[in-house]
Amino acid sequence: MEEIISAAVISAVRELYGLEVKEVQLQKTRAEFSGDVTVVVFPFVKAARKSPEMVGQELGERLKSVSEMISDFNVVKGFLNISINRSYWLDVLANIDANDDFGHIRATEDSPLMMVEYSSPNTNKPLHLGHIRNNLLGYSISQIQKANGWHVVKTNIVNDRGIHICKSMLAWLRYGNGETPVSSGMKGDHLVGKYYVEFDKHYRAEVKELMEKGMSEEEAKRQAPLMVEAQLMLLKWEQNDPEVRRLWAEMNGWVYAGFDETYKRLGVDFDRIYYESQTYLEGKAKVEEGLAKGVFYRRPDGSVWADLTKDGLDEKLLLRQDGTSVYMTQDIGTAKLRYQDYPISKMVYVVGNEQNYHFQVLSILLDRLGFEWGKELVHFSYGMVELPEGKMKSREGTVVDADDLMDEMIEQARETSEELGKLDGLTEEESADINRMVGLGALKYFILKVDPRKNMMFNPKESIDFNGNTGPFIQYTNARINSLLRKAKEQGIELKEVDHTIELTDRETSLIQNLNNYPNVVRQAGQEFSPALLANYAYDLVKEYNQFYQASSVLKEENAAVRNVRLVLSRNVSKIVTSAMALLGIEMPSKM
């Protein structure tokens, strides 16, 4: 519709004022005015040499005379409000109903490739609430970009080396007594995380003891026996010590198995996983190459740096004086491997906003090193997530574990559903599956509905609510539509093509307009990397449907043609809201 109106306006402006325009500003007519689509006429006023009101009036008359789609118009200052024939909206509904993939663009062989990196866990602890927001955003962004016609590769970089890994390893050697996931009954990532906390507990005690003997805090932290031994273990790892490498591989294996369970439960996945232990040497080689080409420089102490002062930044360390790498070096190595593996057109890093400077620097360095997409890389910078109790601290064991949080959400869904009697008559297996979908849907929606660039407070109890802007409210409305359609089928009512002779109500017209806006929301969500746009669109759609459902008879409507249109409209609200929620990674129960 927008394309048809734009073309008609361009033609009318040319004929009336001799003005060639390429774009027309269209927007949805504000609720307080009559109309469906508004044309902004201010850009044509100068060429017409007439007042905005006169230009709007002349354009409205011309458009109405040449298009049967337009039933009426009115002018408010520089805005031309156009009313569309109700019969046209029936055509729109029929088109939406006939298109199972409405609103999505399918990728072709020639479509560009976008790589989206998310998750990026450390192998010294289980995934936590912060990882949940990261994974949900990364997965949803990937799905949204696929719906916008991109080929997408979902990737993960696992931080599997470094001093933090050695801390867990050393603590397990000291205090583990050979404990394994099998002997303890714990998930592997939880078991390794337990010993990361153990290290910190004993390390703090050592620091305190040294300080009581008169040592400064800084010196005590550096000379604490546990830290000295962990540093030695890291050095042995770097030197490929067989025993250290064996333990490292074994404990990382425990963690990977645990991660896989969590990812599967959360409903996220990856097309390719990279590991820092495999990329850091590539990064060092790439830095050495840049050094030889004069892109970087070496200081007298042997360290290698990049001078970014001309870019308004500072100087950035890339290799320490002992030749060991830093995170920036590892990211350069990972980029090199990815560029070799895939024809990347756009690279998107889903990483928290505390890393803004890091990615600003990485973009410049990759560009200098010749990566075509370096300058155009996207750092999807999102805000932190906290609980009402405050911030989380991994070392102190106060992190909100992802598995525990999912358990809590599912349990809360069960309790709430039982209180409201929403699962009466269902089998135990059906109830358990619905509780899982509702609990995880509540978690995902509550996190994704917020502007991702903002910090947020996650309150589990608020998210499990069958009223308001929540996942369960949207899921319940969709389940009610499915129930309505099942009842129609049980009554022998067969849905047919819509009858274009009926008169739509204002609510029906508005619902069809909202459905028709879905492709625009998908496009905008892709351009802005914002799942929140789709989440809130889904909520607005089901909220409007509920108002329609309360005001309109559907199954009891005596006019068969009107009843059919209302059922077709209901079916497509379910289709579109299910599609939108799928882009958020949220499942939709057919019963609730």
- The verdict on pTM exceeding 0.95 is no
Retrieve residue 199's tokens: 């290290």
Burial class (CB in 10 A: 0-12, 13-18, 19+), 135: buried
Distance CA 279, CA 157 (A): 9
- Sequence-distant (6+) residues with CB within 8 A of 130 are 352, 384, 385, 392
Residue 302 and residue 216 share a domain:
no
Same domain, 286 and 253: no
CATH number of the domain to which 419 belongs: 1.10.730.10
Measured from the Cβ of residue 88, the count of other Cβ atoms closer than 10 Å reads: 21
Sign of CA dihedral 352, 357, 358, 360: positive
Question: Same domain for 239 and 309?
Answer: no
Could you tell me if residue 131 is inside a domain?
no
Query: In three state form, how does the secondary structure of 391-418 look?
Result: CCCCCCCCCCEHHHHHHHHHHHHHHHHH
Q: Does residue 149 lie in a domain region?
A: no
Same domain, 177 and 282: no
List, in sequence order, the alpha helices (H) in 148-241: 163-175, 181-184, 188-212, 217-223, 225-238
For residue 335, CA distances in Å to 146, 155, 284, 319, 570 come to 22, 12, 12, 17, 47
- Give Cα separations from 406 to 129, 267, 410, 471 (angstroms): 10, 12, 6, 15
Residues 353 and 428 in one domain: no
| CATH at residue 334 | 3.40.50.620
Query: Looking at residue 395, what is its pLDDT?
Result: 41
Based on the fold, state whether residues 548 and 417 are members of the same structural domain. Answer: yes
Domain boundary among 217, 241, 270: 270
**Which uninterrupted H or E stretch holds 331?**
helix 327-341
- Per-residue pLDDT at 397: 44
Find the helix packing angle between 129-147 and 402-420, rounded to 10°: 80
Residues 244 and 345 in one domain: no
* Dihedral sign for Cα atoms in the order 105, 106, 107, 113: positive
H helix runs in 344-451, sequence order: 356-368, 402-420, 428-448
Name the domain boundary from 84, 103, 131: 84
Quick one: 234 and 375 in the same domain? no
What pLDDT does residue 160 have?
Answer: 95
Sign of CA dihedral 24, 27, 33, 36: positive
Closest CA to 273 of 118, 114, 112, 113: 118
Does residue 98 form part of some domain? no
β-pairing, 26-28 vs 272-275, is unpaired
Residue 386 and residue 476 share a domain: no
Report if residue 73 sits inside a domain. Answer: yes
Cα distance between residue 140 and residue 268, in whole Å: 9
Q: Contact at 8 Å (CB) between 587 and 472?
A: no
> Is 125 contained in some domain?
no
Helices (H), 239-296: 242-266, 276-292
On whether both 534 and 428 belong to a single domain, the answer is yes
> What is the reported pLDDT for 398?
52
**Measured between alpha carbons, how far is 175 from 195 in angstroms, rounded to an integer?**
8
CATH of the domain at 61: 3.30.1360.70
Q: Give the type of residue at 88.
A: Y
Is residue 293 located within the same domain as residue 185? no
Taking a C-beta distance cutoff of 8 angstroms, is the pair 345, 315 a contact? no
Tell whether 146 is covered by a domain: no
Contact between residue 17 and residue 532 where contact means Cβ atoms under 8 Å apart? no
166 within a domain of the structure (yes/no): yes
What residue numbers bound the domain in which 206 lies? 159-270
Task: Check residue 389 and give its pLDDT.
Answer: 64
Burial per residue of 96-132, b for 16 or more beta-carbon CB atoms within 10 angstroms, e otherwise = bbeeeebbbbebeeebebbbbbbbbbbbbbbbbbbbb
Instruction: Look at the chain and count its residues.
Output: 592
Domain boundary among 383, 400, 417: 400
CA distance 160 to 258: 14
State the pLDDT at residue 393.
Answer: 43
Number of folded domains in the chain? 4
Statement to judge: residues 279 and 428 lie in one domain: no
**pLDDT, block means (10 residues), the chain with 592 residues:** 89 93 90 92 93 95 91 94 90 95 96 97 93 96 98 97 94 96 97 96 96 95 95 93 97 97 97 94 93 94 95 93 87 94 96 94 94 90 79 50 92 88 85 95 96 88 86 96 96 92 91 95 97 98 96 94 97 98 97 86
What is the rounded CA–CA span in Å between residue 566 and residue 587? 25
User: 339, 282 in Cβ contact below 8 A?
Assistant: no
Structural element, H or E, at residue 27:
strand 26-28
Positive or negative, the Cα torsion across 330, 332, 338, 340?
Answer: negative
**DSSP code of residue 531:** H
Which amino acid makes up residue 299?
A: R
- Give SS3 for 18: coil
- Are the C-beta atoms of residues 1 and 84 closer than 8 Å to each other? yes
Residue 113 belongs to some domain of the structure: no
